[in-house]
Amino acid sequence: MSYFTKRYHPPGTSPGTLSEHTPEIMAALQISLLDYTPQSFSEHLIENPVDCAQWLEQDSITWIHVQGQVDPDTLRELGTLFGLHPLALEDVINTGQRPKADSYDDQLFVTMNLPTFNENGELRIEQVSLFLANQVLISFHHGASHPFLPVVDRLRKHSGRIRERGADYLLYALLDIIIDQGFPMLETMGEMIEDLEEELLDNPGKSTLARIHQVRRDLLLLRRNLWPQREVMNNLSREGHALIHSSTYPYLRDCYDHTIQILDLIESYREMAASMLDVYLTSLSHKLNEVMKVLTVIATIFIPLTFIVGVYGMNFAGNSPWAMPELEWHYGYPALWLIMLSIAGGMFYAFKRRGWF
């Protein structure tokens, strides 16, 4: 994932402009509509956004989910049909938004970031935009696969409280999935960090550095994208929002707790990753010291000896009595060995005493 993921119109474009972006998601756009009461449940695939109108009059909860990269036309039609604010619509199409919760007159607009790993194990952040109105929830997911299938399932099977409660509880259920996605993700990352740590202390290699850097990068991106959700969830779980029933707040507060716990985890991973780089650098220094000690011991023992044997390799022959008389001495050669061995031994002992090996 690259550092800059925001989509934007050229500066100076009129606010609320909806223009096409280069397609990113291969799967076709799919609009599904779920309509339910405690007693009934129906599911529909919508071809044309205006078809949604027929479910609005009824006294049931309607959930419209738009999966994939939405095009300006569809968005504009939905906007007209449900009276959505143009700035909010712009935020749906210009993905890469900072998560936020905005209250318009009789609507609540929430954008969230859903972190996922793609098939190559790379981090991706997918935007989810949610409109809550009276009895209606509209959700947009800029990604390839439907993230809310467990909720669809609970609605179908009538398991848990979800069919008995309003659209606000449905909003909570979706937010809960988005946020809890962080737990399995951070579990994976925690294991990666622990693996890296072991590798670091046992046998660090060149790739270790690249992997530590990659982890720091992912944690940084994750933090930047999830941090504002703290504010969003705090806002949703505190204030007296007109559209949220009081019995839903404990659930939203639970969600808020999870958001904070995830951010706590990210922070402590980040610190550990930073510390790992220090440990790596220090362990490299330690290794360098070891390498240099080996070289120094070998070199300082043999260089003087090589000099000595070089001396007696000189050709000061001639017949001067001063010309290397040692070469003529009877025990010259074994004496030289004795001298050389004692030099080597002395140096060896000196290094030993300094604790070099």
Question: Residue 25 or 305: which CB sits closer to its own copies?
Answer: 305
Question: Residue 242 or 288: which CB sits closer to its own copies?
Answer: 288
Question: Residue 29 or 327: which CB sits closer to its own copies?
Answer: 327
CB of 145 to its own copies, least distance (A): 13
Question: Residue 58 or 183: which CB sits closer to its own copies?
Answer: 183
CB of 134 to its own copies, least distance (A): 20
CB of 187 to its own copies, least distance (A): 5
CB of 129 to its own copies, least distance (A): 14
Question: Residue 53 or 160: which CB sits closer to its own copies?
Answer: 160
CB of 214 to its own copies, least distance (A): 9
3-state secondary structure the chain: CCCCCCCCCCCCCCCCCCCCCCCCCCCCCEEEEEEECCCCEEEEEECCHHHHHHHHCCCCEEEEEEECCCCHHHHHHHHHHHCCCHHHHHHHHCCCCCCEEEEECCEEEEEEEEEEECCCCCEEEEEEEEEEECCEEEEEECCCCCCCHHHHHHHHHCCCCCCCCCHHHHHHHHHHHHHHCHHHHHHHHHHHHHHHHHHHHHCCCHHHHHHHHHHHHHHHHHHHHHHHHHHHHHHHHHCCCCCCCHHHHHHHHHHHHHHHHHHHHHHHHHHHHHHHHHHHHHHHHHHHHHHHHHHHHHHHHHHHHHHHHHHCCCCCCCCCCCCCHHHHCCCHHHHHHHHHHHHHHHHHHHHHHCCCC
CB of 16 to its own copies, least distance (A): 8
CB of 76 to its own copies, least distance (A): 15
Question: Residue 13 or 40: which CB sits closer to its own copies?
Answer: 13
Question: Residue 39 or 319: which CB sits closer to its own copies?
Answer: 319
